[in-house]
Amino acid sequence: MARSNCPGAMADVCVIGGGPAGATCARVLAALGLDTLLLYRLDRPQPVADILPPEAAAAVDKLGLRRLLEKDERCAAPCTGLWSNLNAASAPTFRSFRSRPEDRNGWIVDRARLDGALRDLAAASGADCRIGRLRRAVRERSGVWHVTGDDGGSVWIARARFLVDASGRPGALARHHGARHVCLDKRVAVAAYWPPAPERHRDDGVAVIERAARGWWYAARLPDGALHVAHHVAAQERARPPAARGCWTHEKPGPMVEARQQRHANGRAPERVVCRAAGMARNEPMAGRDWVAVGDAAAAFDPVSGQGLANALVSGAIAARAIADHFAGRIAALPAFAEAMAATHRHAAMHTHDLYCSLQ
């Protein structure tokens, strides 16, 4: 039994948040022999169709996740290509991920199911995974973190030498302990979901990205056959009312996305519509002397960059190794991690800015 299972026990690391970054961080920390507590909320899952492009294959292999993505049909399905029409001056183009026999496909991922599978891997590696809501995390004068959680029926207390903020946007824990939130643009994604359709189509493994008069559209089918359609737009545009009564967004989809939606929905209204932040943002710094932020809590990517999920997985693993190095006395490990993540985010921000300029 891990020491953190015992009341009042001292854990080496407490990870707040059980998404891809937090679960991966906890898994690697436990595998490195550190007593790790993972605290996560089990909210109603949102069926998000996320993409891991072929460029993420090396990271997937290094993290040992290929078997999960290829064998668990609930978590992921092969993504064989991408239809794109983001440049106003060009016609739609198709990028095949399997144009050569040696090419590797990407994956369309059901984020809710993937998060659960990653938490299972963390538990199998020895992390103490607890469902609950964080009530507070306070650093005592001794330098030990005092973490209070609520599982809905009782309140429990844990103590840890190190804290990981994997709570997602906007990284409230990191901000509370000295980080400054840098919001590079204010964009939102208005996303609609339709339940699985009985018919399967040859383009189920192909995602669509399409420009619009305001922002851009994204469409993909989840591994279970549900349809995810999202309109990404500047936050101020979201304040405009829908163009017609009963519409779930004020912008008409482009022809490629509209064809997907009509074929799947057949006139039915979406089962669920949600609005979430989708702009580029980061916290500075991303690490302190006894805490670090990972995933969206450290650096949030615009979905058009295609880097969000891959960065969450990689940042969780790299942060875990930096924490282990920190415990071993290598004081430069955490600042080096923070600078590397910030550099990645700055580069992605420049690329994203150029891409949005092409939409004008």
Neighbouring C-beta atoms of residue 48, cutoff 10 Å: 22
Distance (Å, whole) CA 199 – CA 201: 7
Percent of the chain at pLDDT > 70 equals 89
* Residue carrying structure tokens 């599978």: 117
Domain that holds residue 16: 3-45+113-183+280-359
- Count of domains forming the chain: 2
Residues 105 and 210 in one domain: yes
Residues 94 and 137 in one domain: no
Given 277, 296, 315, which residue is the final one in a domain?
277
Given 260, 277, 294, which residue is the final one in a domain?
277
What's the CATH number where 135 sits? Answer: 3.50.50.60
The 10s digit of each residue's pLDDT in 253-274 is: 889 999 998 888 888 889 888 8
Residues 163 and 267 in one domain: no
Given 277, 292, 326, which residue is the final one in a domain?
277
- Band (pLDDT 50/70/90 cuts) for residue 149 is confident
- Band (pLDDT 50/70/90 cuts) for residue 236 is confident
DSSP 19: S
Q: Which amino acid is at 293?
A: A
Residues 100 and 53 in one domain: yes
What does the pLDDT read at residue 244? 41
Residues 134 and 201 in one domain: no
Question: Rounded mean pLDDT of 113-138?
Answer: 92
Residues 65 and 195 in one domain: yes
Residues 167 and 227 in one domain: no
Residues 15 and 119 in one domain: yes
